[in-house]
Amino acid sequence: MGHDLSKGQAADGGHVTRAVEVTLDPSPSQERWLRSYVGSMRVAYNWALEQVADNLHVRRDERARGVPEGELTPALSWSRASLTAAWREVRDEVHPWHRDVSVHAFRTGLDNAALALKNFSESRTGKRRGAKVGFPRFKNRHCRQAVTFVEFADGVDHRHWINPDTRTHVRLMLPRRAGEGTWERHHTRPRSQQAAGRDRRSEVAWLHTHQPDVVREVWRLCESGRAKVQALTIKHEGGRWKGRVPPAPARRLDPAAQPGRARKASRRHGRCRRRPEAPGHVGPAGAGADRRARPRSKPARARPTPGPAAAARPGHRSLREGLEEPGKLLRRRAKLYGKIVATRNLYLHELSRRLAGGFDVICIEDLNVAGMARRKGLRNGRSVAEASMGELTRQLDYKTTDRSARLVRVGRFYPSSQTCSQCGTRTKLALWQRVYDCDHCGLTLDRDVNAARNIRAEGQRLLREQQLDVASIRGETQNGEPRLGETEPVPQAPGGHGSSEAATDPAATPEVAA
């Protein structure tokens, strides 16, 4: 579920859309509905890609035969509206069963196909930055499975998406024009065992969640007008069904409104005295390393369980005995990876929450994480990916905004590891050298600690320059007195300080984390 937060506003004054995930607990009949939805999403996605690929292939063959450009087969539009219109024209002939599935499944597939084709087109023409994007691949049942439900009717609010009676269930959108046979096929119990006079749709329309407190918090936010439900996305990830639900807004620490509270938090945490260790959930030291290696190599050579003919011969031992079914191994591996991802996310959220809530200024280095993972000869791609530095930066970006803190990014070309944090001397170090020894001042320090001190100093310098840019609206002379964060001088009080001294008062200096 996406939502609008009245307190969390973007830089342009608009609302901020965010979402969190809750684990769902569907019944067998609800799981069959969900699997039919994600299968229909793949059908619509693959159909759109097939139409575009055929059109490109025909035009390529015509150009190879020398057909003039004006006489080529008309190009197929890749926009969402064009693909949707083309799908509606042929869906009754190509997929006559589409009425038995919610229309949101097909809409999600077409939207994903249009977005993938747009990225491919912009990457080919140079409008998209970054690595080149190839033609989208067709989806199978092992790809990402997700369906987004959107209700555009007037008057739809959170009571439509969350069960008002329990406030712990989220809605499962059901097809409006499904036939009677569809309900019999998807329902768990036969008609004779169902309660008399009860609508069978109501039995599968609400999905139970494993985090009822989160859903209740969403209900309270919507009731108070601080959030608004926009959509619900249900996906199958890590061997479990999950739903994206709007979260509670983060606590905002406003130094202007609550100066004592903000300074108290900074003084309580102070500087980072202890360096956070790398999580290592997947690496050699990770908890899931041994278990992850076993199911990884088995699915390719796994075979189905031997049939009754092999079991009837007690003296014969088949080569297939002792091997699990490929489907079971894939499900085991998906659940294991799901636990690893959940553990990593829990660690990152805890670290980012502690940093954003405990410091007024956080200085980080803008690293090229993708380039570090692909660097030849190092073989540390898994360790770099496991650290999730890009995800940590993303979390710090919005959490510092919620808590009225500052996030300063130091350029990736700044020599933080090659500069002495005490005297500023540059010393070339190889990557395997983990201790910084300065020949000029004799400083001996851990390489990472030395880099962190340099990043903190550079971040403070950049922050002062930003404040000077704001303060220099009227323009100052080269020898003028810098007034940090002020456009007018502070009047001299009896026994008081001037503007520069007031701005550099140690009691007003914010704590900084590197």
Task: Give the model confidence (pLDDT) of 464-482 as tens digits.
Answer: 888 766 554 444 444 444 4
Name which residue leads in pLDDT, 116 or 250.
Answer: 116
Which residue carries 């039995």 as its tokens? 203
Query: Which residues, including other chains, have CB under 8 Å from residue 52's CB and lie 6 or more apart?
Result: 76, 78, 117
Q: What local confidence, expressed as pLDDT, does residue 53 receive?
A: 94
Q: What local confidence, expressed as pLDDT, does residue 471 receive?
A: 54
Report the pLDDT averaged over residues 189-211: 72
Type and span of the H or E element at 7: strand 3-9
Query: Which string of b and e fits 226-261 if b means at least 16 CB within 10 Å?
Result: bbbbebbbbbbbbebbbbbbbbebbeebeeeeeeee
Report the pLDDT averaged over residues 392-410: 88
Report the pLDDT averaged over residues 188-203: 64
171 phi, psi to nearest 5 deg: -80, 140
CB 96 within 8 A of CB 83: no
Q: Which of 237-241, 255-259, 323-327, 500-504 has the highest mean pLDDT?
A: 237-241
Q: What local confidence, expressed as pLDDT, does residue 502 receive?
A: 34
Q: What local confidence, expressed as pLDDT, does residue 116 receive?
A: 94
- pTM value is 0.71
pLDDT, tens digit, for every residue of 128-141?
A: 887 889 999 999 88
Q: What percent of the chain has pLDDT over 90?
A: 19
CB 406 within 8 A of CB 362: yes
C-alpha span between 28 and 204 (Å, rounded): 10
What is the DSSP-derived secondary structure letter of residue 13? S
Report the pLDDT averaged over residues 219-229: 86
pLDDT, tens digit, for every residue of 30-72?
A: 898 999 999 999 999 999 999 999 999 999 999 999 888 888 8
The DSSP code sequence of 327-364 is HHHHHHHHHHHHHHHHHHHHHHHHHHHHHHHH-SEEEE
First vs last Cα of the chain: how many Å apart?
34
User: CA 27, 30, 34 angle in degrees (round to 5)?
Assistant: 135
Report the pLDDT averaged over residues 254-258: 38
Q: What local confidence, expressed as pLDDT, does residue 55 receive?
A: 93
Structure tokens at 100: 């038995």
Burial class (CB in 10 A: 0-12, 13-18, 19+), 508: exposed
What is the DSSP-derived secondary structure letter of residue 231? B
Structure tokens at 165: 């009676």
Beta strand 435-437 with 444-446 is antiparallel
pLDDT, tens digit, for every residue of 409-419?
A: 998 888 888 88
